[in-house]
Amino acid sequence: MNTEETILALNKHFPALEAVSNRPLRVFTAFAEPKAFEETLRYANLTLGYHKGKHIIGTDEGENIGLSYIISNDEDVLLVLRERVPKSAPHVHSMGELYPSLMLHEREMVDLFGVQVSGLPEGPRYPLPDCWPDGEYPMRKEWNPAYFNKQTVTYEPPKQEDAK
């Protein structure tokens, strides 16, 4: 299942993805809704043979958060599937049973981007330290490290910053 076959198969089943490849062994797709994304991921894992879960990249897209899942198969084609989740209600299902190795990165999305991933096993905070204030998501664009006081571990943006 090399790059061209993957693109053909994906575009046939999920035309909304516009799977494209700008260089060998890479397939990028457009952002999708969580429901459609889960279907595509299950389809890629079971039928297309993409069983290796490599990585999850969280990106801040203005008012919603993008999660790009990077998976690959035996021919090492890197397929990037993306889903978009609004910041107001960032709920996502965990893909732990399909990709056990991605549970770790999903746990990281919980801490760094504030995405609520359901189905993750319980565990302490990760990767941020235990003394990190709740509700602070450092990787979001509006979170400015300058206003984070490291000694008292509190985040106090100046007042007019909040008003804006």
Distance between CA 92 and CA 82 in Å, rounded?
A: 12
Rule CB under 8 A: is residue 160 a binding residue for other proteins? no
CB of 128 to other proteins, least distance (A): 7
| Residues in 3-42 that interact with other proteins by CB under 8 A | 23-26, 28
What is the nearest approach in angstroms of other proteins to the Cβ of residue 111? 9
- Are 55 and 70 contacting, i.e. CB atoms less than 8 angstroms apart? yes
In this structure, what is the dihedral angle of CA atoms 8, 10, 12, 13, given to the nearest 10 degrees?
A: 160
CA 86 to mean position of chain CA atoms: 13
Q: Is 100 helix (H, G, I), strand (E, B) or coil?
A: helix
Q: Are 99 and 132 in contact (CB under 8 A)?
A: no
Residue window 61-90: x/- pattern of binding to other proteins, with contact defined by CB under 8 A: ---------x----xx-x-x----------
Q: How many angstroms separate the Cα of 139 from the Cα of each of 62, 125, 159, 164?
A: 12, 15, 21, 20
According to CB under 8 A, which one of 4, 5, 47, 126 is a site residue for other proteins?
126
Q: Which stretch binds other proteins (CB under 8 A): 9-17, 31-39, 40-48, 125-133?
A: 125-133
108 part of the interface to other proteins, by CB under 8 A: yes
Binding footprint of other proteins on the chain (CB under 8 A): 23-26, 28, 51-55, 57, 59-60, 70, 75-76, 78, 80, 91, 93, 99-101, 103-104, 107-108, 110, 116-132, 134, 138-139, 145, 148, 150-151, 153
